[in-house]
Structure 1
């Protein structure tokens, strides 16, 4: 699945988009544990993780993760075994993450909010040998592990520290694990069925770390905001692993809230912010924003969903920093494409592919379409997953001739910049016309009273689908659905504006803060309007 030079692909000659290897990292790592050991040797006393007053140095993380590897081997974990981790954003996540990898095993990170049946599915599907679960609220983990017969080990900070203190000093042996071996299995959200495990290799992740460091210009002593879940690919690879690779410190946040985030940025002098669009929106519109010193911010990366241009421009102005939009998915390790700070950026675009990766826009037959034409985004390069765990048929459907078919719709312009239009499954087909929710959402965000918005399609008896919008108003602002509807109607084609508009206190979101369209509930009075 590695990138193969193709003279017909314009990205092959782009400054950041051609096949090849991203710039090197200190120590020239081949596996994920090398990221840690190389940096620990170079700057052992530098802080790598902080959670409020708790701070771990690189020497601490190196020693503790080595001891964790010995401990796991004592539990019977062998190279290639899968070890599930059900932890919030705490330093113990990193200790166990690198410990599992140093033992030669495979990390299966899981959302600590999962219920027993969801935990059962992931454990059974992965064939996990052990489940390491946070000590608080382990009822669901206990039941999920019981149903699969998986060894459950509660993780309590003081108990874990005592256990690791009893383990031998020195690095463990991890023979037999190479760059093409699976390092992490990430279970997708399962919007189209039961969650599938995307297998990412050591090579996938190390190469993505190289690219992430390059895109963001990360340097030693940077402070990275750790508000994205570590069980998710964005927070884990671009946050934790990039910080470890360059000698930066990641300041952890257990649960994101805008005021808490602003406080952490001020307290820890955060220089690199990673987040989804919702985080940027909530911080930008927070009524006390001006009371916090955010002058340390240098660069931000948005991902997980498209960022409304109004939010991006407003954040750059108010926070006086560069905001880059990136694009990727778990199956692409995750970063595939991003804006660059040294290249002209156009709001609403995701820039150009990262080093060693190519992207194309293709039609349903897989043929590349002309610039400006909407088609499916496909990806090829070092970031494409090994496959879906134990699902060869599904893998073959998703990765065809080395190209990862994302299911996302996008365009490429004459400059080579890509733009995501929408998920294929999210497109609203109204009376035979395609309506891309992203386009309508961008207009909604231009309304001065709108803080958040999402656009969905709802069944219509004659048109097939009708365009509908759920809106969250800014604090202290007021606007009626009729006013909002009229605002959009003046700015888009007649078939695009939402006939159904309603306001809500909050929109449903996933663990990263991404708006979950599938969970948006249409009020009965709005549904009734379709029948009248």
Structure 2
């Protein structure tokens, strides 16, 4: 069966040609114009040698050029590799090299990093251009072809490329737009989530354009700025991570502008506390739908839904076409489902589950067992079918909605000449959800300070990854096997 993510924009341009598709500052781009821009840039990609099945990286901020580049790569029949905008050049180079990207599309302040990474890998550097003759028609693709490769951190310290198919993404956008958020061409969605991230890309951009809604872009989020933009553009649907909810609520409670027509807010990326949810709903007189998903699940998997009911403190029920269950976390090679009320590993199956990790069959086999995707998160179902996420099987840190794995940070800090031992963990943080803390044992004679180690880490890790907190210890608490006792360490570092 043929299916392309590019069809999302193509069909909306045919049905709603004169409606606004994207708002980028003072610029308003209609669906007709956006699709024409996409076809023109797709033709430019073809002229530069991009062919069906090739991979093209996109390293762009939240501007109208992101959807132009994203859909143009897909219309040309190639695969999009969105790159995290907070990565340093070495990290970007790894993504380009591992995915085999032949080009990277970039602009603005991100171009310097993109060029340094491209120089190290031989990739071309391209800018979005919207002149010239358009591609006659988008390249047809099979539903099971890879549309997007999203890199997600792994426990080995290097990110893995999750292969998302055209079917994965079209279905996720359709279910989000129609079943979860009930988007219409009259809706205005605030796209302040980074579009390189699966939440912003699928739930905000793809879902909004699938419904013919207007997508209002914001390159940099602040509470006052977002509230002002929401009021000016009559935003009806807000999507964000808990950090953003905190900033918006604080601003609103101190007299900030409030949008009059906000009918719904969508939360994901990390757990939203019930207290903050209630504060936000009271401040904005609206309803918050909290959901759950991962990069590997396209991402939406479960949601508090208007149709099936909401229960604060849970992530609701599975979305249409998806199954969720709780399994015995100790059964590594098979799935043993548990009864409601029992805590176990959350497992998922359905149209949203990815096709595997790029060039990593072992990781794929470990992640997908008996047709179920093992999330690595621990949860429990209540008797009404609501799922609560109670803990993480892995030591994942979620800072401001971004996933950070301690192992990667530890391996980087371990390269510092003064560091003898290091263990990284997340500490509770009211603003970011969690803050990254590094517990460090220095080598004998070293005189480094916590501040100097933070400065060094900032230069070697992405902006979302480096620890803002460093604790210097005489020794790490270790168990009999030599494993760091994270619970005791957390008490020491708190």
TM norm. shorter chain > 0.5: yes
Residues 1:385 and 1:470: Cα distance change in structure 2 (over 3 Å):
closer
Residues 1:247 and 1:117: Cα distance change in structure 2 (over 3 Å):
same
Aligned to 1:172: 137
The question of 1:129 aligning with 2:93 is answered no
Pairwise mapping of residues 345-424 of structure 1 onto structure 2 (< 5 A)? 345-363=310-328, 364-365=330-331, 366-424=335-393
Q: Secondary structure at the match of 1:519?
A: coil
The question of 1:43 aligning with 2:6 is answered no
Contact residue 3 and residue 167 of structure 2 kept, 8 A: yes
Aligned to 1:184: 148
Q: CA deviation at 1:342?
A: 3.6
Output the CA distance in 2 between the equivalents of 1:264 and 1:280: 15
Contact residue 262 and residue 289 of structure 1 kept, 8 A: no
Residues 1:529 and 1:211: Cα distance change in structure 2 (over 3 Å):
closer
Q: 461, 466, 469: which is aligned to 1:521? A: 469
Q: Secondary structure at the match of 1:64?
A: helix
Aligned to 1:210: 174
Aligned to 1:484: none
Output the CA distance in 1 between the equivalents of 2:272 and 2:464: 12
Output the CA distance in 2 between the equivalents of 1:283 and 1:372: 35
Residues 1:388 and 1:527: Cα distance change in structure 2 (over 3 Å):
closer
Q: CA deviation at 1:69?
A: 1.0
Output the CA distance in 1 between the equivalents of 2:138 and 2:492: 65
Aligned to 1:224: 189
Residues 1:280 and 1:376: Cα distance change in structure 2 (over 3 Å):
same
Residues 1:207 and 1:314: Cα distance change in structure 2 (over 3 Å):
same
Residues 1:471 and 1:119: Cα distance change in structure 2 (over 3 Å):
closer
Residues 1:126 and 1:415: Cα distance change in structure 2 (over 3 Å):
same
Residues 1:227 and 1:191: Cα distance change in structure 2 (over 3 Å):
farther
Q: 63, 72, 96: which is aligned to 1:99? A: 72
Output the CA distance in 2 between the equivalents of 1:242 and 1:468: 32
Residues 1:170 and 1:307: Cα distance change in structure 2 (over 3 Å):
same
Output the CA distance in 1 between the equivalents of 2:145 and 2:42: 18
Q: CA deviation at 1:515?
A: 8.4
Q: CA deviation at 1:384?
A: 0.3
Q: 286, 295, 314: which is aligned to 1:321? A: 286
Give ranges in structure 2 of 5+ residues lacking alignment: 399-405, 407-422, 433-456, 474-487
Stretch of structure 1 that moved more, 133-142 or 286-295: 286-295
Q: CA deviation at 1:170?
A: 5.2
Q: CA deviation at 1:528?
A: 12
Q: CA deviation at 1:335?
A: 0.2
- The one of the two structures with greater contact order (alpha-carbon pairs below 8 A, sep at least 6) is 1
Residues 1:318 and 1:515: Cα distance change in structure 2 (over 3 Å):
farther
Output the CA distance in 2 between the equivalents of 1:334 and 1:321: 24
Contact residue 78 and residue 104 of structure 1 kept, 8 A: yes
Aligned to 2:160: 196
Contact residue 22 and residue 28 of structure 2 kept, 8 A: yes
Aligned to 2:221: 256
Aligned to 2:274: 309
Q: Deviations over 1:235-257 (max 9, x none)?
A: 11111111111110010000111
Pairwise mapping of residues 2-17 of structure 1 onto structure 2 (< 5 A)? none
Q: CA deviation at 1:369?
A: 1.4
Contact residue 44 and residue 57 of structure 1 kept, 8 A: yes
Q: Deviations over 1:86-124 (max 9, x none)?
A: 000010111111110000000000022321110110001
Output the CA distance in 1 between the equivalents of 2:297 and 2:19: 31
Q: Secondary structure at the match of 2:50?
A: coil
Output the CA distance in 2 between the equivalents of 1:468 and 1:106: 34
Contact residue 69 and residue 172 of structure 1 kept, 8 A: no
Q: CA deviation at 1:370?
A: 1.9
Query: When the two structures are superposed, what TM-score results if normalisation uses the length of structure 2?
Result: 0.80
Output the CA distance in 2 between the equivalents of 1:530 and 1:244: 48
What RMSD, in angstroms, separates the aligned Cα atoms of the two structures?
3.1
Contact residue 70 and residue 172 of structure 1 kept, 8 A: no
Give ranges in structure 1 of 5+ residues lacking alignment: 1-27, 428-436, 439-455, 457-464, 475-507
Stretch of structure 1 that moved more, 228-237 or 29-38: 29-38
Output the CA distance in 1 between the equivalents of 2:25 and 2:2: 30
Q: Secondary structure at the match of 2:394?
A: helix
**How many residues are aligned here?**
426
Output the CA distance in 2 between the equivalents of 1:529 and 1:419: 25
Q: 247, 265, 282: which is aligned to 1:282? A: 247
Q: Secondary structure at the match of 1:251?
A: strand
Contact residue 376 and residue 409 of structure 1 kept, 8 A: yes
Contact residue 29 and residue 35 of structure 1 kept, 8 A: no
Output the CA distance in 2 between the equivalents of 1:310 and 1:354: 25
Q: CA deviation at 1:470?
A: 4.6
Output the CA distance in 2 between the equivalents of 1:280 and 1:215: 20
Q: 294, 300, 311: which is aligned to 2:265? A: 300
Q: Deviations over 1:193-238 (max 9, x none)?
A: 2011101000000110121111011111200011000111111111
